[in-house]
């Protein structure tokens, strides 16, 4: 009997025909959606070009980024220095090519650390609840109150700047958001039917957390990972810009920081490395948007 049903005005967005598609593997479906997505494709190809250029660019180009190869402040287009030279006469293009390496490495490793710590703490808080939750959330709140960049600056300055300390510093200050997100997802999923069923079947906590609940919580965490990677890259650039990066490594942030006093005389020394950071973070956030669209097909209509 269909009479006694709640009246709902027909919605425009809903297709008139319900597609009787076979339930495919959701992961495969999401991957297909992701690859077919225009934004994601653009982001992925940009990222691929950037990574390839950082890997083989310096070798192909062949100019030593630390060597003084020309007059200082040679403008872009100078023969032998396509992007010009900096205040010492070092080649900007060579710097941009090699400068992506520390940025990308620190960005990715620190993001992995951030997400790792955050997910672990979020899992525990969301799954066990009670005093464990309260204690972990107080701990998280404590880290959210601390000004992240300042704390990272202090950590880096206490323990000599190196790729390792910078990565650790970013990881230590960055995790609270991931923790909150994971906790919220766990709270949502914890009491769903399929989790209860698994629990009733006698599964252990460890199994429930990592095999039952975590997979369901992954989609928003994956999207957050993309954003976190972009954020970590910006963070690393900021530290390097302030002169707190690894002093022995050329990176995009370092280039901007070293040349910034000559901005008005030689705009290219500052603009070009900045564009490199911008394009990298842009590529990552496009990928993030693409993942988001692929994992939440319903949201695409917005």
Partner 1 sequence: MSTAPLLEVTDLVVEVDNGKRILPVLDGVTFSVDAGRTLGLVGESGCGKSMTALAIMGLLPQGFRVKSGDIKLDGKSLLSMGPDALRKLRGSVMSMVFQEPMTSLNPVFTVGDQIGEALRLHEHLNAADARTRAIEMLRAVQIPAPEERVDNYPHQLSGGMRQRVMIAMALACRPRLLICDEPTTALDVTVQAQIFSLLETLQKEMGTSIILITHDLGAVAEMADDVAVLYAGKRAEAGPVATILDNPSHPYTRGLMSCTPRLRLGSAALTPGHTLAEVRGMVPPLGQFEAGCRFSPRCPMADAHCHAAPPPDVHLGASQTVLCWKVTQEQAA
Partner 2 sequence: MTNLKQPLVFLAQSVGLALAVVVLNFLLIQLAPGDPVSVIVGEMGGASEEVIAQMRAAYGLDKSVLEQLLIYVSKVAVGDLGYSYYHNSPVLQLIMQRLPATVLLALSALTLAVVLGTLVGVLSARKPHGLLSSFVTVVSLIGYAAPVFWTGLMLLLLFSAIWPIFPTSGMVQMRAPKGFMYYVDVAHHLVLPAVTLASIYIASYSRLSRTSMIDVLSQDYIRTARAKGLPEGKVVYKHGLRNGLIPVVTMVGLQFGQLFAGATLVETVFNWPGLGRLAFESILRRDYPTILGILLMTSILVMVANALTDLAYRLVDPRIRSKRA
Rounded Cα distance between 290 and 277, Å, is: 20
- Judged by beta carbon, residue 199 or residue 274, the one nearer partner 2 is 274
Closest CB to partner 2 among residues 33, 181: 181
The answer to whether 107 and 93 have CB atoms below 8 angstroms apart is no
Q: Site for partner 2 (CB under 8 A): how many residues?
A: 42
Helices (H), 146-204: 148-158, 163-174, 176-190, 193-200
Residue 201 site contact among partner 1, partner 2, none (CB < 5 to 8 Å, cut-off depends on kind): none
- From residue 231, how far is each of 18, 61, 197, 295 by CA, in Å? 40, 29, 39, 21
204 interacts with, out of partner 1, partner 2, none, CB within 5 to 8 A per kind: none
Pick from partner 1, partner 2, none: which does 50 bind, CB < 5 to 8 A by kind? none
According to the binding rule CB under 8 A, does residue 51 interact with partner 2? no
Site for partner 1 in 7-66 (CB under 8 A): 7-10, 12-13, 16-17
Please report whether residue 4 would count as binding partner 1 according to CB under 8 A: yes
Among 116, 66, 114, smallest CA distance to 94 is for: 66
Contacts of 113 (CB under 8 A, 6+ apart): 167, 168, 170, 171, 174, 175
Of 154 and 208, the one with the shorter C-beta distance to partner 2 is 154
Q: Which residues contact 238 (CB under 8 A, 6 or more apart)?
A: 149, 253
Binding mask 226-265 for partner 1 (x = CB under 8 A): ----------------------------------------
Task: Tell me which stretch binds partner 2 (CB under 8 A): 20-28, 47-55, 145-153, 210-218.
Answer: 145-153
Q: With binding defined as CB under 8 A, does residue 264 bind partner 2?
A: yes
Separation of alpha carbons 297 and 300, rounded Å: 6
Give the nearest distance from C-beta 229 to partner 2 in angstroms.
12
Residues 230 and 46: beta-carbon distance below 8 Å: no
Residues in contact with partner 1 by the rule CB under 8 A: 1-10, 12-13, 16-17
């Amino acid at each position: 009997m269909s009479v006694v049903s709640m009246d709902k005005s027909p919605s425009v967005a809903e297709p008139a025909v319900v597609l009787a598609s076979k339930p495919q593997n959701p992961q495969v479906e999401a991957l297909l959606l992701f690859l077919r997505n225009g934004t994601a494709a653009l982001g992925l190809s940009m990222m691929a070009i950037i990574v390839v250029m950082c890997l083989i660019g310096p070798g192909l180009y062949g100019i030593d980024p630390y060597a003084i190869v020309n007059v200082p402040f040679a403008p872009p287009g100078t023969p032998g220095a396509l992007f010009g030279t900096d205040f010492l006469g070092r080649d900007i293009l060579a710097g941009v090519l090699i400068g992506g390496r520390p940025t990308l490495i620190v960005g990715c490793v620190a993001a992995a650390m951030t997400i790792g710590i955050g997910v672990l703490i979020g899992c525990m808080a969301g799954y066990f609840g009670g005093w464990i939750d309260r204690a972990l959330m107080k701990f998280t709140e404590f880290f959210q109150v601390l000004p992240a960049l300042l704390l990272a600056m202090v950590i880096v300055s206490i323990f000599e700047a190196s790729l390792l300390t910078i990565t650790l510093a970013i990881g230590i200050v960055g995790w609270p958001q991931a923790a909150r997100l994971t906790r919220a997802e766990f709270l949502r999923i914890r009491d769903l039917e399929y989790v209860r069923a698994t629990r009733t079947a006698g599964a252990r906590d460890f199994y429930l957390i990592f095999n039952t609940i975590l997979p369901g919580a992954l989609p928003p965490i994956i999207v957050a990972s993309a954003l976190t990677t972009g954020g970590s890259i910006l963070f690393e650039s900021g530290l390097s810009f302030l002169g707190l990066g690894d002093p022995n490594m050329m990176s995009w942030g370092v280039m901007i920081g070293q040349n910034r006093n000559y901005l008005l005389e030689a705009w290219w020394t500052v603009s070009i490395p900045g564009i490199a950071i911008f394009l990298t973070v842009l590529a990552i956030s496009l990928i993030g948007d693409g993942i988001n669209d692929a994992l939440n097909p319903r949201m695409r209509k917005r």
